[in-house]
Structure 1
Amino acid sequence: MAEGVIPTTLLSSESSHIPFLRGENFSNWKDKILLTLGCMDLDLALRVDEPPIPTESSTLTERASYERWERSNRLSLMLIKSHISKGIRGSIPDCNKVKVFMKAIEKQFVTFDKALANTLMKKLLGMRLKGSKGVREHIIEMQDIVAQLKTLEIEIFESFLVHFILNSLPMEYSAFKISYNT
């Protein structure tokens, strides 16, 4: 097999592990993209700057270096774009350099993460136990929100979570709240 040629089965196998970028899964998607490109030895264009475009006076080494970078850039862009849902792809400025394209995607999702964190915090602070579910389910739901916030790098200390939980309980749990606070 020619040097630098990726077998179709490897390409298909590796890319099948990449989820489609849908919005809430940016971190996982990015990790899988970078791992796949690294395993396939296609991450050169992400790691190094574009070499000068070869001229008539360029050496064979310079031409080969540019060709490797250009191939990495082209295939990386194709792989990345093929794993972004169409609705999201339209909101990302199109680029012909993979490094610039990845930065544009990251910029888009930093804003998304902030909005998601704000929504989750409001939900956590506004939660109240209603009669339709038990205390255990209510606490698990609150812990799930805290876990989602943690993935967004917002840490809620356990002592705060306990206070959030206690404050979310209705009046009939007053004796329990007093007991805990003493």
Structure 2
Amino acid sequence: MTYDLDHAKWYSSNRKCLMVIKGSIEDSIRDSIPECTTATEYLKKVESLFTGSLKAYASTLIKKLVNEKYTGGGIREHILRMSNTTSKLKLMDLGLKDEFLIHLIFASLPKEYETFVVNYNL
């Protein structure tokens, strides 16, 4: 008798959890996830679906960092933008050394900042 009551409570809780999880996911993503009977199984499928996209996101951030060029405006904002991209990579355990970030920042600057680069290297 207690098993049946516990099972009924678990079933109700599991069904509610699945509804909350599915309700918080975008429709286009939800349609690509196969149906599951438990909330735990559903979350594992969601996790496996996004593991590959995390690697693609890291690759996109690295390409953005390497190809970043100063286009005008504030130099401070340019440096902060590149530093912010690096901090996102650190969260994924792909952090860059500060010296390498400085090299990338200097490489992204136009010729008119060459004296700044030379003075830093002295």
- Match status 1:67 vs 2:8: yes
Quick one: which of 12, 22, 41 aligns to 1:81?
Answer: 22
* Residues 106-121 of structure 1 mapped to structure 2, 5 A cutoff: 106-121=47-62
Equivalent in the alignment of 1:148: 88
Q: Write the distance in 2 (CA, Å) between the matches of 1:113 and 1:170.
A: 32
Rounded Cα–Cα distance in structure 1 between residues aligned with 2:97 and 2:9: 48
Distance of 1:72 and 1:155 partners within structure 2: 41
**Normalising by the residue count of structure 2, what TM-score does the alignment of the two structures yield?**
0.89
Q: Which has the higher helix share?
A: 2
Residue 115 of structure 2 aligns to which amino acid in structure 1? Answer: A
Q: Between the two proteins, what is the percent identity of the paired residues?
A: 39
Q: How does 1:12-91 map onto structure 2 within 5 Å?
A: 60-91=1-32
1:91 shift after superposition: 1.4
Residue-by-residue CA offset, 1:74-128 (whole Å, 9 max, x unaligned): 1100000000111111111121211110001001111111111101100000111
Q: Distance in 1 between matches of 2:35 and 2:120?
A: 56
Residue aligning to 2:119? 179
Are 2:45 and 1:104 aligned?
A: yes
Which residue of structure 2 aligns with residue 158 of structure 1?
98
Alignment root-mean-square deviation, CA: 1.5
Match of 1:23 in 2: none
What SS is found at the alignment partner of 1:94? coil
Pairs aligned (count):
122
Q: In structure 1, what is the Cα distance between the partners aligned to 2:96 and 2:9? A: 46
Which runs of at least 4 in structure 1 moved beyond 6 Å after TM superposition?
Answer: none
Structure 2 residue 96 is matched with structure 1 residue 167: no
* 5+ long unaligned stretches in structure 1: 1-59
Taking the aligned partners of 2:105 and 2:49, their CA distance within structure 1 comes to 33
**Which residue identity lines up with residue 155 of structure 1 in the other structure?**
G
From 57, 64, 76, the counterpart of 1:123: 64
Distance 2:113 2:92 in 1: 32
